[in-house]
């Protein structure tokens, strides 16, 4: 093995990469398509008439404007998490692992079956399906509750590398440095994330990583998985709904309804694993992080929308004892269309 930099897969090279490993049918694929989305991976979909594989390779350098290092071994965490969720969640809730090349950080998985849509695309088009939001919340509950009892998972996902490098450094600590008056609140939140380690947390539970079907949802993207605070996942998903309410006020009421449904389904009749007060704190932090961290939300560019997000984040971080319902009511009123004169 030479000391050369490990090869990155391309649309041109992936077919021979698979053929050398005897993965997939031994013929040229019909289609090789880059799957858009993230900033940190090459993701390619390779299809034959009778088979379909998605290949994901972690990039050594993330595609963001600012410097951000993230250990490529995060891909092996994703593989382990995908395999774990395959046993923990109902069939069809995650892709199956097909292969993993640990030296080149390449993961092969089954393609999501046809008939679904990336939830983010539906949400940004103003199609806000409350039933999907409920399924997303119920599946997260099942995951958090099911994993919490598993000591083997506590060990397997013990590394805080994904949380530290993937979230705390680029998000929380960066936003804290840029908002001195909020730094104490953000640091307290970080301390809780590092201490309150209760179950398997996905760390990237967002609408981009959910494929919605008419009767179920499928989850993707597990490279930030760690044994940690379940409030993080609930807040991460809610953050995306709040950001959309602020960037598309015309549908703010629908996004808020989806957020309420998600939380109701997550919480269920018994107390949820994630504590509501922690979810609220985390939501305040994450909203600010998507403005001032190293991975700003790409669709949140309009200055007035950014100001609404900032106002909500500041209120959450500077007010004690807000319930999630209070916060969502605030999101709705903040985004109400200005009342026209009578
Ligand atoms: N197994 C799969 N089947 C279908 N689409 C997929 C699959 N894996 C990923 N994708 C698509 O590719 C996008 C990026 O993949 P993802 O694993 O989320 O990588 P990233 O870390 O770059 O966000 C996803 O948002 C989804 O649209
Ligand atoms: Mg993703």
The two three-digit tokens of residue 153, written as one number: 């998972």
Of 72-86, 246-260, 326-340, least confident by mean pLDDT is: 326-340
State CA 126 to chain mean position distance: 20
Among protein residues, the one with the nearest Cα to ligand 1's atom 18 is: 221
Reported confidence tier of residue 271, pLDDT bands at 50, 70, 90: confident
The answer to which of 3-17, 42-56, 311-325 has the lowest mean pLDDT is 3-17
Given this model, what pLDDT does residue 269 score? 78
Q: What is the Cα 213 distance to its own chain's centre? A: 18
Q: Measured between alpha carbons, how far is residue 27 from residues 20, 21, 45, 52 in Å?
A: 12, 13, 15, 13
Ligand number, closest to the Cα atom of 40: 1
Nearest Cα residue to 227 out of 261, 257, 191, 193:
193
Query: Phi-psi bin for 206: left (phi > 0), alpha (psi -120 to 50), beta?
Result: beta
pLDDT band at 295 (very low <50, low <70, confident <90, very high): confident
| Single pTM value for the model | 0.95
DSSP states of 192-242 = HHHH---EEE-S--SGGGEEE-SS-EEE---TT-EEE-THHHHHHHHHHHH
Examine the pLDDT at 340 and tell me if it is beyond 60: no
The answer to whether residue 64 scores a pLDDT higher than 80 is: no
* pLDDT score recorded for residue 37: 63
- pLDDT, tens digit (0-9, with 9 covering 90-100), for 40-63: 899 999 999 999 999 999 998 887
Going from the Cα of 297 to the center of ligand 2, the distance in angstroms, rounded, reads 13
State the ligand closest to the CA atom of 56: 1
**Top mutation candidate among 221, 225, 297 for ligand 1, by most atoms within 8 Å of CB:** 221
Q: Give, in order, the Cα–Cα distances in Å from 208 to each of 11, 15, 241, 255, 277.
A: 22, 26, 12, 15, 25
pLDDT classification of 173: cutoffs 50, 70, 90: very high
**Buried b or exposed e, range 93-115, using 16+ CB within 10 angstroms:** bbbebbbbbeeebbbbbeebeee
Q: Does residue 283 register a pLDDT over 90?
A: yes
Q: Give me the residues near ligand 2 (ion), CB cutoff below 5 Å.
A: 37-38, 208-209, 221
Distance 35 CA to ligand 2 centre (A): 10
């Amino acid at each position: 093995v030479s000391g050369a930099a490990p090869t990155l897969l391309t649309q041109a090279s992936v077919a021979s990469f698979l053929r050398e490993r005897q993965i997939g049918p031994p013929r040229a694929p019909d289609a090789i398509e880059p799957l858009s989305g993230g900033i940190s991976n090459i993701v390619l979909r390779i299809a034959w008439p009778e088979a379909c594989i998605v290949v994901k390779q972690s990039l050594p350098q993330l595609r963001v404007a600012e410097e951000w290092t993230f250990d490529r071994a995060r891909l092996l965490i994703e593989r382990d998490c995908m395999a774990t969720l395959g046993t923990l969640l109902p069939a069809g809730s995650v892709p199956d692992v097909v292969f993993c090349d640990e030296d080149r950080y390449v993961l092969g998985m089954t393609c999501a079956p046809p008939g679904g849509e990336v939830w983010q695309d539906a949400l940004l088009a103003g199609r806000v399906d409350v039933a999907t939001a409920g399924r997303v919340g119920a599946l997260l509950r099942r995951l958090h509750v099911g994993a919490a009892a598993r000591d083997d998972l506590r060990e397997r996902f013990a590394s805080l590398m994904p949380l530290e490098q993937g979230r705390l450094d680029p998000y929380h600590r960066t936003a804290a440095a840029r908002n001195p008056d909020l730094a104490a609140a953000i640091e307290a939140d970080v301390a809780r994330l590092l201490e309150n380690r209760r179950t398997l947390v996905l760390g990237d539970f967002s609408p981009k990583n959910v494929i919605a079907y008419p009767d179920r949802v499928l989850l993707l993207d597990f490279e930030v998985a760690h044994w940690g605070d379940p409030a993080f996942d609930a807040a991460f998903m809610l953050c995306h709904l709040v950001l959309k309410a602020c960037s598309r006020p015309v549908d703010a009421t629908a996004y808020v309804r989806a957020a309420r449904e998600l939380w109701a389904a997550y919480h269920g009749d018994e107390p949820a694993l994630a504590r509501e007060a922690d979810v609220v704190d985390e939501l305040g932090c994450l909203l600010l992080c998507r403005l001032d961290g190293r991975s700003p939300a790409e669709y949140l560019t309009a200055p007035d929308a950014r100001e609404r997000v900032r106002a909500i984040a500041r209120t959450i971080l500077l007010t004690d004892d807000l319930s999630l319902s209070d916060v969502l009511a605030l999101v709705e009123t903040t985004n109400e269309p200005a009342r026209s004169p009578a």
